[in-house]
Structure 1
């Protein structure tokens, strides 16, 4: 009897559609980049490990676009994305800096700083899932925090262990703070100011041309400072009419 019930239950189950599976496959790429970064960091291959954190951002940006284009976004996908982000932008960068700078010389202070950073990433992701505030991000986004930390390794700018521990703690604090940071997700072809977007693209290109591997560190440091001084890149890149429309529709 139970065997017949089991067969009926299996028949009632609807097979997962490709539009539901595809976004999670992209998210898996994000998670795998974080895991590979961890493995390389443990082996002492710090620069490739840092690059994998940057590659994880590509998958992190694509999964949402794939879900929206296919109409296959699910609650499962949202939770899976947060778990992948925790590994790629929390555990992997925290372990990377710990292995590159804090292990053996930072003592317990270095361990606490690395753990604090990962904890703040987890709290930031959990808050993002339950608190939806229109407009700028509340607190430094976890991908930006993870990339900022990893960019020190790319730039070969590993500082004194005490300084690196302070940087980890500072980045973690910004992620759980209410400091507003630019949200570029709502920027579209119609609403974007092409001249300003082109100017920003030229600036980024010049940074890579003159600074090389140190360019990501400079750019993410600039992004962090922009939040502290309340400069919204997302608003700056919008056309005037788009800014006015957003100001009218924004809840007071």
Structure 2
């Protein structure tokens, strides 16, 4: 006689964030398809769209209280595709194809590898406050933004930018953690200024705006400027540890 098995349903609060994470992965997969067809600009914009989903899944998980170990693992897997493999292939297809034999392919692979190492380190070493090393979404968007802006760069220059970005991801250079910001601890005047600045960037630079914006963030770590601390009203730098990297 078979025993009745009671299957425990997955809470709705955990399903929604994971569905949003799936949007991140979908954008990454579609970006790879675009690269295969030689459409590098749409592929880069899909990486930009993946950043939106990556930001929203963590925000939704925190607001619904639906964070989980499963969600964290799914988020990391999606990030490897959308911000490691896809940007690496975009750079290879748009700039490094045929560069010094297989060197271009190795550069793209090195970027994806460093992105995966960055995520693995983040998952096992939670450090309060700033991110240690350039977050992979920022790194992926940065290198993909060159194709998005349709910049014509020599292969050697793009290879150096890609390798440098990859090294920043696995470095210990501190980068501002905007996800520690909460309602009530945000400087509204500074948020308004930053939002206006971003809007002006898109109006004036258009397709080059994402590159200009993310370049400021990449440079901020090297200059030891913490955007999270700058926007926060809290003096204490010990922020809550985040379980989804944005």
Is this a same-fold pair by TM over 0.5?
A: yes
Aligned to 2:8: 14
Query: TM-score, length-normalised on structure 2?
Result: 0.92
Query: What's the C-alpha RMSD, in Å, of the aligned pairs?
Result: 1.7
Instruction: State the distance in 2 between where 1:116 and 1:92 align.
Output: 13
Q: Secondary structure at the match of 1:170?
A: helix
Q: Secondary structure at the match of 1:166?
A: helix
Contact 2:51–2:137 under 8 Å retained in 1: yes
Query: TM-score, length-normalised on structure 1?
Result: 0.90
Instruction: State the distance in 1 between where 2:183 and 2:60 align.
Output: 18
- Deviation, structure 1 residue 72: 2.3
Contact 1:31–1:85 under 8 Å retained in 2: yes
Q: Which of 20, 28, 33 is 1:34 aligned to? A: 28
Instruction: State the distance in 2 between where 1:229 and 1:248 align.
Output: 20
- Deviation, structure 1 residue 230: 0.5
Matched, 1:145 2:139: yes
Structure 2: any 5+ residue segments left out of the alignment? 241-246
Contact 1:158–1:164 under 8 Å retained in 2: no
Instruction: State the distance in 1 between where 2:168 and 2:239 align.
Output: 28
- Deviation, structure 1 residue 69: 2.6
Instruction: State the distance in 2 between where 1:211 and 1:20 align.
Output: 38
Instruction: State the distance in 1 between where 2:145 and 2:154 align.
Output: 16
Q: Which has the higher helix share?
A: 1
Matched, 1:71 2:102: no
Instruction: State the distance in 2 between where 1:209 and 1:215 align.
Output: 8
What do residues 2-23 of structure 1 show as CA deviations (whole Å, max 9, x unaligned)? xx2xx53xx2321223222222
Matched, 1:220 2:189: no
Moved more, 200-209 or 84-93: 200-209
Higher RCO structure, 1 or 2 (CA under 8 Å, sep 6+) = 2
- Deviation, structure 1 residue 249: 8.2
User: What stretches of structure 1 move > 6 A for 4+ residues in a row?
Assistant: none
Contact 1:106–1:162 under 8 Å retained in 2: no
Contact 1:155–1:213 under 8 Å retained in 2: yes
Alignment length (residue pairs): 240
Structure 1: any 5+ residue segments left out of the alignment? none
- Give the greater-gyration-radius structure (CA): 1
What do residues 130-175 of structure 1 show as CA deviations (whole Å, max 9, x unaligned)? 1111111100000000000111011111311111111110010000
Matched, 1:211 2:205: yes
Aligned to 1:100: 94
- Deviation, structure 1 residue 201: 1.8
Q: 1:157 to 1:134 in 2, by over 3 A?
A: same
Instruction: State the distance in 2 between where 1:247 and 1:34 align.
Output: 33
- Deviation, structure 1 residue 215: 1.4
Contact 2:24–2:78 under 8 Å retained in 1: yes
- Deviation, structure 1 residue 210: 2.0
